[in-house]
């Protein structure tokens, strides 16, 4: 069965003022799938997520979500259509409690609070339930990443975009964050993940793209790319 494209990015060129970062980038996220975009530091991964979520507007190209053209829309409208963006570096509110951080995720979406989203999120992240009244600054790095992801889920998005969820985490902690990401996908949420941590991302990706200097240079099934000679050499430090 061919899955419908939930997100479709078509030849998008984007950047900051006169600095063009993304050059004719095209990629798709099929409904209920997990897509990874991998690339080194500075490749343009964050710029791509910021362009999809409306923080940046593309210079040219189109972005479709659920078949609707979203390029040029303000971020809050794009969020309302069902895209949640978990930014690089987590950006949780350190002095608010875990529970307050989660409620911030649902703001403008009070329906989701009523619909038991908090209960679902606590089922998925029992550690956050245990710590719901603690200030977020007391969480470990892994727990803080879980909180950032959980906050992104509070609106009940159909697409969750994660910017470097493994950044700064110990390998064991990365493994548990990735288990959580797979569990979210099993719950029917599509995921667009960008990562420098190529190995983990490719292992779980249904489809993956390699971004270099603002251009997609390779694409395929995650596991196939893991076996690719160039990927092994340049991204996995293997001969």
Ligand X SMILES: Nc1ncnc2c1ncn2[C@@H]1O[C@H](COP(=O)(O)OP(=O)(O)O)[C@@H](O)[C@H]1O
Min separation Cβ 150 and ligand X, Å: 23
| 165 belongs to the binding site for ligand X (CB under 6 A) | no
Answer for which of 33, 46, 53, 158 binds ligand X (CB under 6 A) is 46
Token pair of 17 as six digits = 């003022």
Task: Residue count of the chain, please give it.
Answer: 239
Nearest CB to Mg ion, comparing residues 121 and 192? 192
The one among 6, 7, 9, 21 contacting ligand X by CB under 6 A = 21
Task: Decide: is 19 part of the binding site for ligand X (CB under 6 A).
Answer: yes
Binding mask 200-239 for ligand X (x = CB under 6 A): ----------------------------------------
| Site size toward Mg ion, by CB under 5 A | 3
CB closer to ligand X out of 48 and 118: 48
C-alpha torsion sign, points 30, 35, 40, 46: positive
Site string for Mg ion, 42-71 (x = CB under 5 A): ---xx-------------------------
Q: Does 16 bind ligand X (CB under 6 A)?
A: yes
Alpha helices, H only, 161-197: 171-186
CA 21/CA 18 separation, integer angstroms: 9
Which one of ligand X, Mg ion, none is in contact with 1 (Cβ closer than 5 to 8 A by kind)? none
CA angle 146, 49, 159 (to 5 degrees): 60
How many C-beta neighbours within 10 Å does residue 223 have? 13
d(CA 197, CA 111): 36
Which runs of E-coded beta strand occur in 135-203? 159-163, 190-195
Give the three-state DSSP class for 82.
coil
Interface residues with ligand X (CB under 6 A) are 16, 19, 21, 39, 41-47
């Amino acid at each position: 069965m061919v899955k419908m494209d939930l997100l479709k990015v078509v030849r998008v060129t984007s950047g900051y003022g006169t600095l063009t970062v993304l050059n004719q980038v095209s990629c798709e996220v099929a409904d209920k799938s997990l897509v990874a975009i991998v690339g080194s530091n500075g490749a343009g991964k964050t710029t791509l997520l910021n362009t999809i979520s409306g923080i940046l507007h593309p210079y040219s190209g189109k972005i479709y979500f659920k078949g609707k053209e979203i390029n040029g829309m303000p971020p809050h409208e794009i969020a309302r259509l069902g895209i949640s963006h978990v930014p690089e570096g987590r950006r949780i509110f350190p002095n608010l409690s875990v529970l307050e951080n989660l409620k911030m995720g649902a703001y403008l979406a009070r329906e989701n609070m009523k619909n038991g989203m908090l209960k679902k999120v606590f089922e998925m992240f029992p550690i956050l339930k245990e710590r719901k009244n603690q200030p977020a600054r007391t969480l470990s790095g892994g727990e803080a990443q879980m909180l950032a992801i959980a906050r992104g889920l509070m609106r009940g998005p159909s697409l969750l975009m994660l910017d470097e969820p493994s950044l700064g985490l110990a390998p064991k902690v990365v493994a548990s964050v990735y288990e959580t990401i797979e569990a979210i996908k099993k719950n029917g949420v599509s995921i667009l993940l960008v990562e420098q941590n190529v190995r983990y991302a490719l292992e779980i990706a249904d489809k993956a793209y390699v971004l270099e200097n603002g251009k997609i240079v390779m694409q395929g099934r995650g596991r196939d790319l893991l076996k690719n000679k160039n990927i092994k050499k340049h991204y996995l430090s293997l001969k």
